[in-house]
Structure 1
């Protein structure tokens, strides 16, 4: 049964539990691979989690001349393989979402790998397993279909040209109903 990470952005309260959990995931070397962005800290307390969207046809992998970025059968786009990465940083430039980061000490790109050691076994990624507000959820196809019907989720595009999007579909699904519709949630 395929599952997806689902992000309901307007639920985020900025607790950063997801960041703490990310450092504890196996193979992350206590390095945080997700981010929490303060939307406008001088005006509001609104925060949103930023993480790899695991694109179906990822620009980071397409731009890698060493084929160091692998895509799993489940759709997870993994960090660069140590033995293949040449440190060219094409992936960090190519990603329209600005997610991959480059570690100059290790000469290696790293990013969210959807806790692949967990998710391949059907266990939620660390960030979703600790989120107190259900901003990050690990959903089955049926649960995701119900969310899509509720919020009318579409495809993400990173281009202003609808006929030539940079990325058309992602494995991580996002909902911005409150933000896009101008409504506010009360927690």
Structure 2
């Protein structure tokens, strides 16, 4: 029996410069199309303040030190991770949803929100370790990355992938991504362990992966 089609993302953190083109293009798409509970496209929906379906985390650390001769040494580093919903194989947001509004589509494995069923309880957001579901406080429903399913139907890539100037992002079936990039590296900070949700995300690790640091741009994400 043929396995179910499952789409996912590839992220090359050796290429990502933190330019946030993916973040901005995704945000712009919110003002053009937003998915409602009837799988139709609602035109002209304004951007939702404070809701970011894709976020670019700056992770860094290190120190400066002064030598006896007055010269300086440093071990400072930083790198970027561009993250949205990973349309996980074991989506904890779906398990946490009390109404069935959060669901995983059979045809492509994308995790979507049926807004007609959503009660805005925020249970999915509290469960997700990637901060993917985000509440539209005006409509009182959850929103999230939908994999640009309308663009996929037209044979196009998600808007974030097409806007990346360094080609640090890719999106395809997981079968095709693994054939192209392999299994990738273990998920690096600040990403949570893959064991929590079995995310459909292949990561190529930055050379500084594994070093102790912290998120440096909390105000942006």
TM-score by length of 1: 0.77
Give 1:146's match in structure 2, choosing from 162, 177, 180.
180
Counterpart of 1:20 in structure 2 is 24
Give the 3-state SS of the residue equivalent to 1:70 in structure 2. Answer: strand
2 CA distance for matches of 1:40 and 1:61?
A: 32
Counterpart of 1:33 in structure 2 is 53
2 CA distance for matches of 1:14 and 1:155?
A: 18
CA offset digits 1:39-59 (Å, max 9, x no partner)? 238955532212111101200
State whether residues 101 and 110 of structure 1, in contact with CA within 8 Å, keep that contact through their aligned partners in structure 2.
yes
State whether residues 51 and 99 of structure 1, in contact with CA within 8 Å, keep that contact through their aligned partners in structure 2.
yes
2 CA distance for matches of 1:134 and 1:50?
A: 15
2 CA distance for matches of 1:74 and 1:6?
A: 16
Query: How well do the aligned residues superpose, as a CA RMSD in angstroms?
Result: 3.0
Distance 1:181 1:139, change over 3 A: farther
Q: Which has the higher helix share?
A: 1
Aligned pairs (5 A) from 1:90-105: 90-105=123-138
Give the 3-state SS of the residue equivalent to 1:180 in structure 2. Answer: coil
Q: Which has the higher strand share?
A: 2
Stretches of structure 1 that go unaligned for 5 or more consecutive residues are: 183-187
State whether residues 155 and 170 of structure 1, in contact with CA within 8 Å, keep that contact through their aligned partners in structure 2.
no
Counterpart of 2:15 in structure 1 is 11
Stretches of structure 2 that go unaligned for 5 or more consecutive residues are: 35-44, 63-75, 212-221
- Cα distance, 1:181 vs. partner? 7.0
Aligned length: 174
1:127 partnered with 2:160: yes
Larger radius of gyration: 2
Distance 1:10 1:134, change over 3 A: same
1:166 partnered with 2:196: yes
Moved more, 5-14 or 172-181: 172-181
Counterpart of 2:42 in structure 1 is none
1:74 partnered with 2:108: yes
Aligned pairs (5 A) from 1:106-121: 106-121=139-154
